[in-house]
Every structure is written in C-alpha cells, then in structure tokens.
Chain A
C-alpha cells in the first residue's frame, strides 16, 4: 500500500472521529471489551507474513480512555522462508487507547501500546544457508526484545454483548540474543473479528 493511500485512510479515520464526540450508548466507564482472534502480520524487512493467535482487552477508565493489554502467540509463517525461519515471535503489549466514540455504535480509536517480543529464529536448511548466508547456522537463543507499538482501529457495537472490530498495528523493535546480525522486528499486523462486551464492572444505576 502506497504512502498516499495510508495518509488518505488516516484522514478518513480522523474525519470520522472528529464528528464523533458525544456520549456513547455502549462505551461507558468500566466497560470491559475482550476478543480472541487470528491475526496476520507482515514483517517489513523479511517480507514474511507470520500468523498469530491472540487476545486482548480494553478496560474503559473513562469513555475516552481505555487500558489495553494484548498477548499474541506465533503459530506459523504463511510465506516462503528465505534467509531464516521464525521459531517463536510472541508478543505481550500494554498501554492505553484513546477512543473517539460516537453516541451510537462506532468506536474508532488509536493506541500506544509498548511491550516485549519473545522471539527465536533458526536456519531454513542447508541450501538456504549456502544461498543466503543467514546470520546463524543453528537456532538462536530465545530472546526478549523491547518494542514500540501503535495501533489504529474501529469497534462497532452490535449490542450489549458483541462487537465487531478491525485493527491495524505497527510494531518496531530489534532482536539480538546470540544472532550474528541484528534482526529487525518491524511488522504490520492486521486483525478483525468478533469481540465481547462485559459490563459487570459498571455500577448499576
């Protein structure tokens, strides 16, 4: 996707958010929103597309701000592995999301969610070792890497229990452990699906 398209999408998002500044029907203080899903990533340097299973939560501290937490578990790589193989690439992220909720169902948001990646990489095979000269000839150690992460997304509340969501996330980090080279962890992740609303923390009127 070109830079212009990304800017255009962001402009649409923020315009939508700008007209959505009144009280929400669903998003209220102490609402807990959770979801579990499969997400797909795209590692920018490696041009590989790993798949993850994961879950996250938003706990609304006010109608505008939620505490966010996410865990994702690397499952498989969906594209050809050239220079090396991903053995582990799990993430734990936390932070806050800022919501621009409208008075009905739309809940667009942006978030800053730093965290850690737990990663391990290994060689693909003898042929690839000869071809690509990977930075290691056997599996690296499992390493913990600090990462920056920011997300933009939209929740759409279809009732008091369910919501649909779409989210794009960018992750920036670098892996060292005992690799002979720095391995960039820069990645875009996309997820969408069904989420749950839990209102039992909200005070009854």
Chain B
C-alpha cells in the first residue's frame, strides 16, 4: 500500500468527523486557546526529493511543540528524521531541526451569544500559512554501504500552508505542505542507465524539496495567562 491509498482513508475520517458536528464551530471550554498554552505533537513527514519523482519519495518521523503567541500567531519548534529512497539503488537520510511561525488566515475563534451568555468558539478548520528556518544534516548512501557517499550540513528556509482540524479545543490533526530550500553544498543522487550517481558540489547552492506533514497535537500546559 502506498501513500496514495492512505489518502481516501484519511479523507473518510475527516468526512465522518465533519458530519458528526453540529454547526461549524466547537465550544471552547477553557480560555487556554488564546495564547500561552504549550502543545505537543508527533508527526510523519513525506518528502519528495530530487525533482519530485515518486520513486525518490521519503518518509520521516518527528515531533514538535507549539507555543501560540497570540490568537492569530502560533510558533512550532520541530525535529524530523527523514529517510528517502533514491531510485531503489540508494537512499538519503536527513535530520531537520527548526522552527516555523504560523499565521492563521482567518481567526481561529468566533464569539457568539448563547443561552449561557457570551461564548468563544473555535473553528473546526483553522487554515494557516507559515514560514521558518531549519538546520539539517543530510547524507546520501549507496545501498549496501555503511558510510555516506556524500554528506553535508546546511541551513534552510521553508514556507507553506496547511490547516488544523480541531477535533476538540485542545486536540487537532494538522495537514500541511511546505517547500524547503537548503543553502549549502549541493549533494544529490540519481540513477542513470541503471547506475546510481552521487554528486557533491563544493559550491554553495540552493536545493529544495516538498514536504507534506501530517501531525496530531495536544495542548497540554499553560505557560502564562493573559491578564483581564
């Protein structure tokens, strides 16, 4: 089963959850959602490296924590370990550590007046755009080798967009896509005429890859409380 076959499953879950709600909003049961709550998450990152060929796709695991600064601005601090296939003849390993600032394009919260008085509700979907920085180590291995044929340290910038699906005010599932551009020595591997060629160029270069991240997140600890 490949990634494409998993997508209908995920869509089914989201469709089910969407139909199970009354209205578009969920009630916020505590004021934690405004800012100052530390959230934790685990994630899988799917990486399309080396020109975006699906043969060269990789998958990683990682974790992050989030600290919302305001209602509309959130920060995410993450680490990922990603393993990529290179045409069935080699593989690439990347370690990422970095941070992103997320901006909610529409306010995640809406006020409404109900029987209990004025309420703050969180939207079911909270789309965002984000940008940030990353540091990484990458190595390219020919299959069968224990030492990399090429390796490099680099820094990177990334930007993208995604959405939280708020299962509850504290818990969300997040799906996002980012393009990450590395600044450093250029290393890459490709299969040509049945042979894996690993190239390393000493000059600084820009190299990018597309990352899709699926994460599950829980807001756990209150760091500070806004004064009324």
A65-B171, A148-B6, A174-B85 known; 8 new pairs, CB 8 Å cut-off, are A17-B16, A65-B218, A95-B42, A172-B3, A173-B59, A176-B83, A178-B146, A180-B143
- Known interface pairs A64-B167, A114-B43; A14-B16 also in contact (CB < 8 Å): yes
Q: In the complex, are the beta carbons of A174 and B20 less than 8 A apart?
A: no
A146 touches B82 (CB 8 A): yes
CA distance A198 to B2 in the complex (A): 38
Q: Which residues on A sit within 8 Å (CB–CB) of B184?
A: none
The reply to whether the CB of A165 lies closer than 8 angstroms to some CB of chain B is: no
Assuming the contacts A176-B141, A179-B143, A180-B144, asked whether A186 and B1 have C-beta atoms less than 8 A apart, the reply is yes
Question: Is the CB–CB distance between B42 and A114 below 8 Å?
Answer: yes
Range class of the B interface residue count: 35 or more
A176 shortest CB reach to chain B, Å: 4
A118 on interface, CB distance cutoff 8 Å: no
Q: Report if A52 contacts B (CB, 8 A).
A: no
- Find chain B residues with CB under 8 A from A174 CB: 59, 83, 85
CA distance A67 to B2 in the complex (A): 26
A-B contact pairs, 14 of them (CB 8 A): A10-B12, A44-B1, A64-B171, A65-B170, A67-B218, A94-B42, A98-B167, A112-B173, A146-B82, A172-B2, A178-B144, A178-B146, A181-B88, A181-B143
- Give the distance in Å from the alpha carbon of A72 to the alpha carbon of B217 in the complex: 23
Cβ-defined contact, B59 with A172, below 8 A? yes
- Return chain A residues, CB-CB under 8 Å to B6: 148, 150, 170, 172
Identify which of residues 148-163 in chain B touch chain A, using a CB-to-CB cut-off of 8 Å.
none
Bits for B51-84, please: 1 = Cβ < 8 Å to A, else 0. Answer: 0000000011100000000000000000001110
B44 within 8 A of A: yes
Contacts of A172 in B (CB 8 A): 1-3, 6, 59
Q: Which of A15-72 contact B (CB under 8 A)?
A: 17-18, 21, 44, 61-62, 64-65, 67
A residues less than 8 Å from B91 (CB atoms): 176, 182
Name which of A64, A115, A146, A182 has the most chain B CB atoms within 10 A of its CB. Answer: A146
Against A, the Cβ 8 Å flags (1 = close, 0 = not) of B127-150 are 000000000000001011110000
Residues of chain B contacted by A62 (CB below 8 angstroms): 168, 170-171
Report A92-112 residues with CB < 8 Å from chain B CB: 94-96, 98, 110, 112
**Do B12 and A146 have beta carbons less than 8 Å apart?**
no
Bound-state CA distance A123–B216 (Å) is: 38
Taken together as a complex, chains A and B put the C-alpha atoms of A104 and B180 apart, in Å, by: 48
| B116 touches A (CB below 8 Å) | no
Contact A145–B83 (Cβ < 8 Å): yes
Task: Check if A115 sits within 8 Å of B146, measured CB to CB.
Answer: no
* Least CB distance, B153 to chain A, in whole angstroms: 20
A61 touches B143 (CB 8 A): no
CA separation between A179 and B85, bound complex, in Å? 12
Tell yes or no: A124 within 8 A of B by CB. no
